[in-house]
Structure 1
Amino acid sequence: MPRKGKLRRAIPFLGPAFLVSVGYIDPGNWATNIEGGSAFGYTLLWVLLLSNLMAILLQTTAAKLGVATGKSLSENCRQHFKKPVAVFLWITAELAAMATDLAEFLGAALGIYLLLGIPLFPAALIGAAVTFGILLLHKYGFRFIEQLILGFVIIVAAVYIVELFYAKPDLGQVGYHLVVPHLNSASILVAIGMLGATVMPHNIFLHSSVVKNRLKKNQPKHNHRVYKYAIVDSLLALNVAWFINSAMIVVAAAVFYKNGLKVTSIEDAYSTLTPLLGGFASLAFAIALLSAGLSSSVTGTMAGQYILEGFLNIKIPIWVRRLVTMIPALIIIGAGINTWKALVVSQVVLSMQLPFTIIPLIMFTRSKKIMGSYANKRWTNILLILVAAIIIILNGLLIYQTFGGEF
């Protein structure tokens, strides 16, 4: 078949991984990447490449579970675990989804605050209204939401292509540090933050759920194509997310590190870009942040919805879920609580939940009884266990360091 025909045939299958990919460019990633680039230049680019390879393995495995069983990870937990275990896993997953939603909602509010120059609380209310509007479009079909989110991802990627043009990075250094690991006692904590925060529980639940929208009953050939294209979809979407994250580090290194400026917050990065690169660069930065915040807020809400439906077989309108999960963020902003500390606490919640997501995923996908011919090969299981161990250990170190531990 000609390449053009193959591409046209693939397009209807693409989309689920792009929904997932926005979780890898959410505002939490922005802060870590900007801090890493401004403090250590290009030296941590290899960390993002390693993180991306781990993410691709776990997300394609989650998609495979959805295709092979016709059920999401949360539905498989309800089916294969005893009720007390399933309820416990649901509570942990629900807390993680709400913690993720908190970070992403704050990011959208921050983007509006930077663009419009209004106080953070009204910005948060505007962000809530826009997110409600996007979620209500769900009634026009799931494909419509996917295309909208893809549009947001394209905006963020386009902005960072422009930012790279303005920043004029050292391409030789970029290529070198992309493949040559470099780590010291000063940069290890930021590197752990990048690696440990790469895989978020809600992304695994989300991917195993949304891929089911492509399946057809009693059509194994079609469903096998869904799995094949899910791999292509993941490679495309997660590599776009990797490019964006890497571009954040490169821009921070070329602009802030080069000028001896250590930037540790998104607000500082925005205000510092104007004198160094001009007003257009900072405006583009704020637009990209808003796009990332809104899109990740929408997909975070959807993930929470799938978690509730899968574990408890309960359906509620998605706007009700959005209303409930935005209340903690509005309270934090309205009470004047430090948003950076709130983001740190949300990361700790995600870190603690991660084993309860990854371990069931490996248990199910290695089982021939559950997966049939889709069951993991031996080398896949070894890689998954290795990746899971690395991520869990790094998240444990993150928790240890967050509560004052030193190493």
Structure 2
Amino acid sequence: MKGNWKKYLGPGPLVAAAFIGPGTVTVCTLAGVNFGYDLLWALALSVFTTIVLQEMAARIGLITQRGLASNLSVTIQKSVWRFFSLTLVLLAIVLGNAAYEAGNISGGALGAEIFLDLTKIELGKLQINPLNVLIGVFALVLLFSGSYTLIIRFLTGLVILMSLAFVVSAILVQPPLSALLQGFVPRIQGDQIITIVALIGTTVVPYNLFLHSGLVAKRWQNLEDLKYVRTDTMIAVVLGGLVSMAIVVTGVAGASIEVNSAVDLAKGLEPLLGGKLAKYFIAFGLFAAGITSAVTAPLAASMVITESFGCSSDIKGMGMKGSIGIVLGLGLVFSSLGIRPVQLITLAQLANGILLPLLSGYVIWLVNRKSLMKGFENSLGMNLLSMIIWLITLLLGFLSILKVFGII
């Protein structure tokens, strides 16, 4: 039995690292500032939804030994639907991740500036932040190392430290237990809808399904390894959910100050708590969130690109390296040169709003194919639960589209 615990270590921490980015930190912070503990139930729902979807995607990866993008290309034979599906996936995942990468890098730099504020470099009307460049280069070097094991180990360690940073910050705030428990009782007010959509949307991430299924296929090959896959998935998603909740709890303490981001909260809590610890914990957490997402976003996009075109998703291959370089390079250019890809992000949000219910429906269909799943299909109870989850993703996608067009 000695050493068996290592079999439980898989790509789960990358899933947590992927959805806890600077955007998640900001959304959770503002949820706490604006609504107190009232929306903790929305995070609990998103964690449960994510576990169900990620488990199915991971199970598909293990049984088929292919990622979702490869399965999409193989199982949809009709040329029109195949072209539509792959185009939508590439648009949402690749374009979206390239746009969001700028936010990941910039968010990490904002956290780092609490500790180290480097002089900006002026090039005419352009202003380059050296911290953005350092974060981007670090992410590129780590990804170009060509070792999934090294990437997983590094991000696992960073996710643990990030989790401790935010949890300690929440403990320093000393939230009342009764108020915390009341936050898990579902209730919705009109002005909370957009924030609820944002909270769920930052946890249930379409590109995580692609990333997870592909990495599971590389980590485990035997059918009896399913128990390790499920344990790894559940622990990672629950840990990520707890971190998000800790950020909300910390944000509640900032309700009496002017807070528009996690950096504002980090600076504002210093006099409230009578010390600098909270400021540095939150700043490090934001920095770690930026680093981890800056690594996982281009990795996921590159796996989608290579698998969609039938190429190898081996991280040492030129296809993966080229795709990583393009996605990360675009994010670095946007963030370092001060370009705000608002239109790209809006388009990505629109595509993701459409993709989430389509992709979750596809996952449910795929996981029930007996010829493909070899006896590991969904049970009747799991299918009923999956349909409820699908309806949630449909509603979430619909609300995301309305949000993009400014209807809500």
Fold in common (TM above 0.5): yes
Native 8 Å contact 2:302 2:323 kept in 1: yes
Partner of 2:151: 145
TM-fit CA distance, 1:105: 4.0
Partner of 1:61: 56
Q: Distance in 2 between matches of 1:333 and 1:108?
A: 7
- Supply the AA of the counterpart residue of 2:132: A
Partner of 2:176: 170
CA RMSD in angstroms, aligned pairs only: 2.3
Q: Distance in 1 between matches of 2:136 and 2:395?
A: 35
Native 8 Å contact 2:49 2:389 kept in 1: yes
Give per-residue Cα distances to partners, 1:174-224, cap 9 Å, x unaligned. Answer: 12322x1122112222112212332111100111111112334xxxxxx23
Partner of 1:79: 74
Native 8 Å contact 1:105 1:294 kept in 2: no
Give per-residue Cα distances to partners, 1:78-116, cap 9 Å, x unaligned. Answer: 111124433432232222223134324422333224423
SS at match of 1:256: coil
Unmatched segments (≥5 aa) in structure 2: 121-127, 313-317
- Supply the AA of the counterpart residue of 2:397: N
Native 8 Å contact 2:8 2:231 kept in 1: no
Give per-residue Cα distances to partners, 1:23-53, cap 9 Å, x unaligned. Answer: 2211221121111100010010011111100
TM-fit CA distance, 1:160: 1.3
The farther-off stretch of 198-207 and 270-279 is: 270-279
The answer to whether structure 1 residue 357 and structure 2 residue 359 are counterparts is: yes
Q: Distance in 1 between matches of 2:348 and 2:265?
A: 22
Matches within 5 A, 1:92-131: 92-98=88-94, 99-115=96-112, 116-118=116-118, 119=120, 121-131=129-139
Q: Distance in 1 between matches of 2:342 and 2:277?
A: 26
Native 8 Å contact 2:58 2:213 kept in 1: yes
Native 8 Å contact 1:13 1:214 kept in 2: no
TM-fit CA distance, 1:354: 1.7
TM-fit CA distance, 1:130: 0.7
The farther-off stretch of 314-323 and 59-68 is: 314-323
Partner of 1:283: 280
- Supply the AA of the counterpart residue of 1:269: L
TM-score normalised per structure 2: 0.88
The answer to whether structure 1 residue 193 and structure 2 residue 189 are counterparts is: no
Partner of 2:266: 270
Shift in CA distance, 368/188, structure 1 to aligned 2, threshold 3 Å: same
Partner of 1:329: 331
Q: Distance in 2 between matches of 1:275 and 1:339?
A: 35
SS at match of 2:203: coil
SS at match of 2:406: coil
Native 8 Å contact 1:27 1:103 kept in 2: no
- Kindly, what percent of the aligned residue pairs are identical? 25
The answer to whether structure 1 residue 306 and structure 2 residue 303 are counterparts is: yes
The answer to whether structure 1 residue 246 and structure 2 residue 245 are counterparts is: yes
Unmatched segments (≥5 aa) in structure 1: 217-222
Native 8 Å contact 1:69 1:371 kept in 2: yes
Q: Number of matched residues?
A: 389
TM-fit CA distance, 1:317: 4.5
SS at match of 1:117: coil
Q: Distance in 2 between matches of 1:243 and 1:342?
A: 30
TM-fit CA distance, 1:286: 2.0
Partner of 1:204: 209
Residue 43 of structure 2: which of 45, 48, 59 is its match? 48
Native 8 Å contact 1:58 1:204 kept in 2: yes
Q: Distance in 2 between matches of 1:391 and 1:274?
A: 39
Give per-residue Cα distances to partners, 1:342-390, cap 9 Å, x unaligned. Answer: 6555433322322332222111111112212011112212221221221
Shift in CA distance, 201/276, structure 1 to aligned 2, threshold 3 Å: same
Q: Distance in 2 between matches of 1:80 and 1:13?
A: 30
SS at match of 1:199: coil
